Structure 1
Amino acid sequence: MKAYEKLKNLRRQKGLSQLQMGKIIGTDASNYSRKERGEVKIYEDEWEKLAKVLGVSSESIKNNELKHSQRSENGIQDSNIAYSKIPNFILETQHKYIERLERENKKLIEENNKLKNSAIN
């Protein structure tokens, strides 16, 4: 599989649009589309930015040699599909959100208990 095909597949797996990917490297959707089709060169710094958002190394995208299933720290790479960990920044954001919800839930439970106690008395 060519690097451009891998890039397109990874982008789709992550649910990202060409517009979003273009913004990451500082271009519009049309130019990004040409890059994804291999019509326009993707520079090394662009590969790094794209790989970071996709949660893989730029080398794994650009590697033209397919490997059989391989377990690694970052997940499993199959000959047709790449499974990778969710990027840390997304996990951190979700973790902070969960903590916030837990604090709010605790406050609501306390308030509810106070209201119950005042109704009983």
Structure 2
Amino acid sequence: MEKTKLIQARTKRGFTQQQLAEALCVDVSNYNRREKGQIKISNTEWEKLSKILETPIEEIYEQEDSMVFICKDNATGNYQGNNHIYSIPEYFLDNQKKYIQKLEEENQNLKNEMEKLR
């Protein structure tokens, strides 16, 4: 899937693919394949691109094969104000939703049993 947000941000800021390729330490053909969605862009690369383009990650990031959560936290210590990006596969999220639903049903059954005892 082509990274249209990234391409738009790059062109809006006046950067060439060559310039961003050099910043990521890859050749221009590899960078081009990243923009076309043929090669996955790593979390570190997203962070570098965000800094170079002076744009928040969430404005240039486009989903790949997994869901991504970008959490802006106010952690202390070495992580002050950093964005943390977590990739979670769809099947894992679906599994967790089913598990939560099962727990909610069990919780409701227990509440019903407690009401009967009163």
TM-score normalised per structure 2:
0.49
TM-score (norm 1): 0.48
